Amino acid sequence: MAMAMAMASSLFVFTYLLCFVPLGTEAGGSITSLVSKELFNAIFLHKDDNACPAKDFYTYDSFIRAARRFPRFGSTGCLTTQKREIAAFLAQISHETTGGWATAPDGPYAWGLCFKEEVSPQSDYCDSTNKEWPCYPGKSYKGRGPIQLSWNYNYGPAGKALGFDGLRNPEVVANNSLIAFNTALWFWMTEQKPKPSCHSVMVGKYVPTKADLAANRTAGFGLVTNIINGGLECGIPSDGRVNDRIGYFQRYAKLFNVDTGPNLDCQNQKSF
């Protein structure tokens, strides 16, 4: 049984990648060759509009500098896999920071990176039971940056990994463009068990555990949504938030001239 499951997982990984590169191979490519400034601006048509509170905050230079800090991002696997991962990342951060609406100019999926911090948070996002990353008095760990980093147990380790005090100075994520992109890519690239990293899912390195198989957590863009916000969005038929993420991904995949791969939603998945 164990051997059969392993063979099935390996077969799925191979078919998901849709390219002939041995698992673990990194093709190396330059992030600027895959995401030019012109493409970045075509993706984020309205991020610097006056209507966007994050106007002029999310710069191409900051994105590129952050991506270079995580050299496996957008460079693992074949060219199709590399482009698909970048498109998936940009789609997820676009939903997290969207300023779009149904009848928005150029469509709702042209309005990513419009916000840099959560508006009217319902709490300070402090998990007081977490003793490893204790909240600092008077600080809010609300969503900030491209991935809308939230909770003290994310701010703490993100700051430790990236060189800032995430618990005492969480505001820096909304005040420094490079740190903001760094936190988003840190979250994307970092495994937080029992969750795999978003990166491992999108490049075909994710191998489901028995618990994953029982929860129908199957590799694809939908699993990335589950990692990011599955507790609120997954296991729900036709959830509007999930569909918004998918809409961004479909638009960006076309701009990168790649397919989206299977399993776009997480409506049949249990959250982690």
The CATH number assigned to the domain holding 146 equals 3.30.20.10
Say yes or no: 98 and 138 in one domain.
no
Whether 226 is in a domain gets the answer yes
Q: What type of residue is 31?
A: I
Residue of 85, 96, 117, 118 marked catalytic: 96
Residue pair 268/235 in contact by the 8 Å Cβ criterion: yes
Compute CA distances 81 → 12, 13, 73, 129, 154, whole Å: 14, 12, 11, 39, 27
Smallest CA-to-CA distance from 136 within 122, 126, 148, 150 is with: 126
Burial-class residue 9 by CB neighbours within 10 Å (0-12, 13-18, 19+).
middle
- Range of the structural domain that residue 23 is part of: 2-115+191-256
The CATH number assigned to the domain holding 224 equals 1.10.530.10
Residue pair 109/247 in contact by the 8 Å Cβ criterion: yes
Say yes or no: 110 and 142 in one domain.
no
Say yes or no: 169 and 127 in one domain.
yes
Please give the tally of structural domains in the chain: 2
**DSSP E strand stretches across the chain:** none
Say yes or no: 122 and 109 in one domain.
no
Whether 124 is in a domain gets the answer yes
What pLDDT tens digit does each residue of the chain (272 aa) get?
A: 443 444 444 344 434 445 754 444 344 458 999 999 999 999 999 999 999 999 999 999 999 999 999 999 999 999 999 999 999 999 999 999 999 999 999 999 999 999 999 999 999 999 999 999 999 999 999 999 999 999 999 999 999 999 999 999 999 999 999 999 999 999 999 999 999 999 999 999 999 999 999 999 999 999 999 999 999 999 999 999 999 999 999 999 999 999 999 999 999 999 99
Say yes or no: 25 and 95 in one domain.
yes
Q: Is 191 designated active site?
A: no
In the prediction, which pLDDT does 29 show? 59
Say yes or no: 87 and 145 in one domain.
no
In the prediction, which pLDDT does 18 show? 52
